[in-house]
Amino acid sequence: MCGIAGIYNFRGTQAQSVETVSRMLSSISHRGPDGFGAYHDGGVCLGHARLSIIDLSGGGQPMSNEDGSVWITFNGEIFNFEELRAGLEERGHRFRTNSDTEVIVHLYEDLGHGCLERLNGQFAFAIWDTAKRELFIARDRMGIRPIFYAEQNGAFYFASEAKALFATGHMERKLDPLAIDEIFTFWHTVAPRTSFEGVHELPAGYYLVLKSGALERHKYWELEFPEEFSNISFEDAMDELKRLLIDSTRLQLKADVPVGAYLSGGLDSSVTTALIRNYTGSKLQTFSVAFEDGDYDESPFQKEMAKALGTEHNEIRCSYKDIRDNFEKVIWHTEKPVLRTAPSPLFLLAGLARKTGFKVVLTGEGADEVLGGYDIFKEAKIREFWARMPESNLRPLLLKKLYPYLPAFQGQSRFYREAFFNSGLTAASDEFFSHRPRWATTAKNKMFFSEALRNEIKSASPESMMRLTLPASFKSWPVVARAQFLETRGLLAGYILSSQGDRMLMGNSIEGRFPFLDHRIVEFAATLPLHYKIRGINEKYILKKCMAPHLPPNIVKRTKQPYLAPDSKSFFEGGKSAGYAEELLSEKKVAEYGYFNPRPVAMLVNKCKKGGAIGFKDNMALVGILSTQILHRQFVEDFTGALPLDREKLKIVNEPVRA
């Protein structure tokens, strides 16, 4: 895993580009502390910060083809690179290294932009084609690896993180009001929008082409559900899913450094761990977060799983103070407001993996989206069932089966439970039917928005932005398939893999790998009849069935627990608040930054201090407001830029390395 950065000048040459790219790399050196390289050709400059994982001695970048006519800077992994390499060698390509990077270069020579369809991996890269004078920038299908870009004064800048764009010193730094509006609706921005005005994110499954001073954006992959689901038998589907999982795990274990695994205590990471232990014979170290607050702690299950699978287990105990003390750093890495503190413990967990000597971890991320694990899918199923007969007294009783782990939810009267899920009940044909209750609850916190912010948002609607991202056939899919799409293309890429994933991992120079997100598994799962994935309201049914022989019964039977961390409690221990939170949430600072109304925020803070904020809504408000304030301070008010790397650290690689 690595960091990449670069410049393309629309108007010919610019002498300063190497120096600028050096600053960009310096600002994201946490992504790749093992070495820095740059290539320049007239108005184009590519930069690379390396975390060496495959081909430790030969994988330096930027890298070129045989004659130096194609250059690449690449962040990520191509898991099928050995298979691809064999084919390329047969077609006469000569390889100088054992790296996956070189495979992309040669595949590009053969197939041009079409090379993307052949890659199985997680990647963001830029290729400079010196003959065509074309810059080609691509991002993986699921959005595992990030890439941001911006245009300023006739130049195009790209990088793995937005802070590298600001490090150029040429970019205005302003939070985008519409981004705040989107986050206070969906929990994430809708790509290409980012938190910052003028900074774009390349959406998952897209590529860019810059040529003759023009920029084009193309989609090469999308999650699509079929018009008719496959008629494969359940037994055959189980076998195929298992075969694919074993294969993707085998491929993703490839590395020239030791690979560890996260273990949450739930089904998905247990599956990943069991696959590694059962099918690869690898010795394995596992990593878990335990919470001091027993309401959030899953360590007994983590230990049970580690014992059952015979892994060497490592645990980090997370307290309110740990979350509080790391939260500013966390927001520096997320580069986005967040509505939960959940990234914070994952930041600490990646730190533990790094301290233990690891650079790569496998996790169970993606299983819930791909195989139907989340409660929002079951909720949508029940609400749809109810909507078909709204006058039914019995149908809404099923709602009580949802969220068994939420005492506040279980304690409420039937009337209020139904009133909540009634949100948008009348129209199951509504494209966003599944997400109405969640989005409506989240959006209530817009009551804290200041007049100034409201005026900037005006009539913009987050839903209309989301609608633009939907495939043409979306409306014809069943409610649960639509919900899976929104979770996979929206929340997974926009929050789980970024704010909780890549940014927390790379903040500690750790690479995450996600066997469930192998595109073959994602595509296969989308063809399956929905009741294979959720049987009644039994989630991830096919996964449980096919993996049960390899897992302790307790893990398979266990009710799904969402991953949560203490939110407002972390900042207001014993009625007092952390210094920075006190300051940033003060009426003075809230008024000064201008996004929120000072008085209502003061009342919310007061409620939190008294321990009165027990629901999701208030906690989301507090964390959302605090993280927006932190983001503003770090990126708008106090951004200090980055010094260029030391001259001797940055290797200029303008000539292709001869074998």
Partner 1 sequence: MRDEVRDFIFKNFLFDDSGDSLNDSDSFLEKGIIDSTGMLELVAFLEEKYGIRIEDDELVPENLDSVERLVQFISRKKVPS
- Return the range that interacts with partner 1 (CB under 8 A); candidates 43-51, 264-272, 414-422, 560-568: 414-422
Q: Per CB under 8 A, which of residues 611..640 are in contact with partner 1?
A: 612, 614-617
- Return the range that interacts with partner 1 (CB under 8 A); candidates 212-220, 262-270, 412-420, 586-594: 412-420
Question: Residue 359 has what DSSP assignment?
Answer: S
446 contacts partner 1 (rule: CB under 8 A): no
Nearest-approach distance from CB 189 to partner 1, in angstroms: 24
Nearest-approach distance from CB 437 to partner 1, in angstroms: 10
600 contacts partner 1 (rule: CB under 8 A): yes
- Say how many CA atoms lie within 13 Å of 10 toward its Cβ: 13
Helices (H) and strands (E) in the chain, counts: 28, 18
Nearest-approach distance from CB 609 to partner 1, in angstroms: 13
Q: What span, in angstroms and rounded, lies between the C-alpha atoms of 145 and 364?
A: 17
Nearer to partner 1, 554 or 606 (CB): 606
Tokens of 43: 């108005």
Nearer to partner 1, 168 or 619 (CB): 619
Nearer to partner 1, 531 or 607 (CB): 607
Q: Per CB under 8 A, which of residues 371..410 are in contact with partner 1?
A: 408-409
Query: Residues in contact with partner 1, total (CB under 8 A)?
Result: 27
Tokens of 458: 């005006």
- Interface mask (CB under 8 A) for partner 1, residues 540-579, using x and -? ----------------------------------------
Nearest-approach distance from CB 589 to partner 1, in angstroms: 17
Nearest-approach distance from CB 581 to partner 1, in angstroms: 17
Instruction: Evaluate the omega torsion of the peptide bond into residue 33 and state whether it is cis, within 30 degrees of 0.
Output: no
415 contacts partner 1 (rule: CB under 8 A): yes
By CB under 8 A, name the one of 10, 279, 420, 639 that touches partner 1: 420
Where would I find the H helices in 356-485?
Answer: 367-371, 375-387, 407-411, 414-421, 436-443, 451-457, 462-468, 479-485
On whether the CB atoms of residues 314 and 539 are closer than 8 A, the answer is no
Nearer to partner 1, 383 or 482 (CB): 383
441 contacts partner 1 (rule: CB under 8 A): yes
- Say how many CA atoms lie within 13 Å of 624 toward its Cβ: 29
By CB under 8 A, name the one of 607, 636, 644, 656 that touches partner 1: 607
By CB under 8 A, name the one of 413, 429, 459, 640 that touches partner 1: 413
Cβ-in-10-Å burial (0-12, 13-18, 19+) of 420 comes to middle
| Degrees to nearest 5, angle at CA 396 with 395 and 400 | 120
Nearest-approach distance from CB 625 to partner 1, in angstroms: 11
Tokens of 570: 């972390």
The residues near 377 (Cβ < 8 Å, ≥ 6 apart) are 434, 480, 483, 484, 487, 534, 539
Torsions phi, psi for 438 (to 5 deg):
-65, -50
447 contacts partner 1 (rule: CB under 8 A): yes
427 contacts partner 1 (rule: CB under 8 A): no
Nearer to partner 1, 614 or 643 (CB): 614
145 contacts partner 1 (rule: CB under 8 A): no
Strand-strand pairing, 36-41 and 650-652:
parallel
Let me know how long the chain is: 659
Nearer to partner 1, 419 or 652 (CB): 419
Nearest-approach distance from CB 611 to partner 1, in angstroms: 11
Beta bridge partners of 155: 9, 152
Torsions phi, psi for 565 (to 5 deg):
-130, 155
587 contacts partner 1 (rule: CB under 8 A): no
604 contacts partner 1 (rule: CB under 8 A): yes
Beta bridge partners of 41: 44
Nearer to partner 1, 226 or 407 (CB): 407
- Return the range that interacts with partner 1 (CB under 8 A); candidates 74-82, 263-271, 530-538, 604-612: 604-612
- Report the run of H or E that residue 7 belongs to, with start and end: strand 2-9
The residues near 524 (Cβ < 8 Å, ≥ 6 apart) are 240, 241, 244
- 218: Cα separation from own chain's centroid: 21
- Return the range that interacts with partner 1 (CB under 8 A); candidates 14-22, 132-140, 354-362, 606-614: 606-614
Nearest to 140 by CA among 24, 223, 47, 225: 223
Give the DSSP per-residue string, 177-210: HHHHHHHHHHSS--TTB-SBTT-EEPPTTEEEEE
Nearer to partner 1, 413 or 459 (CB): 413
Positions that interact with partner 1 (CB under 8 A): 408-409, 411-413, 415-417, 419-420, 440-441, 444, 447-448, 599-601, 603-604, 606-607, 612, 614-617
